[in-house]
Every structure is written in C-alpha cells, then in structure tokens.
Amino acid sequence: MSKYTKGQTWGALKKAWKAYKIAKVQGDKAKMKEYAQRIRTLQEELGVTKAKFPDLGLT
C-alpha cells in the first residue's frame, strides 16, 4: 500500500504527465522514458489503465 493519499497520487500523476510532455517537446528521450515509467507506476497504484508508450518500448 502506498504511503500517499489518493489525492497526492493523482497530483503526482498530473505533474508527471506535464513533465513528460515538456521532455517530449525538448526531444529528451531519457527524461521521457523516466517520466513514462513514473506515470505507469502511479497509474498502477491508482488502479487505472496504464498508458502505453510504444515509442519508448512501454506497452
């Protein structure tokens, strides 16, 4: 079980998506992959469908 509330986890997910989009605009593949993995982990904690990132090998 996570040590964060659902609200905190949703907030972290929102920030991770924003950071991912910024990294994508900057063309920073390493950061994109890092944030994509974080997004998927947070989504798993929340019990929602995990996003797919086929361009990064995460499906």
**pLDDT per residue as tens digits for the range 44-53:** 999 999 999 9
Q: What percent of the chain has a predicted confidence (pLDDT) above 90?
A: 92
User: CB within 8 A of 42, min separation 6: which ones?
Assistant: 9, 12, 13, 16
> 20 and 36 in contact (C-beta within 8 Å)?
yes
> Does the structure show a pLDDT above 80 at 30?
yes
Interior angle at CA 49, CA 47 and CA 54, nearest 5: 140
Q: What is the mean pLDDT of residues 19-43?
A: 97
Specify the pLDDT at position 45.
95
pTM of the model: 0.91
* CA atoms in the 13 A half-sphere facing the CB of 22: 9
**Which backbone phi and psi does 3 adopt, to 5 degrees?**
-90, 5
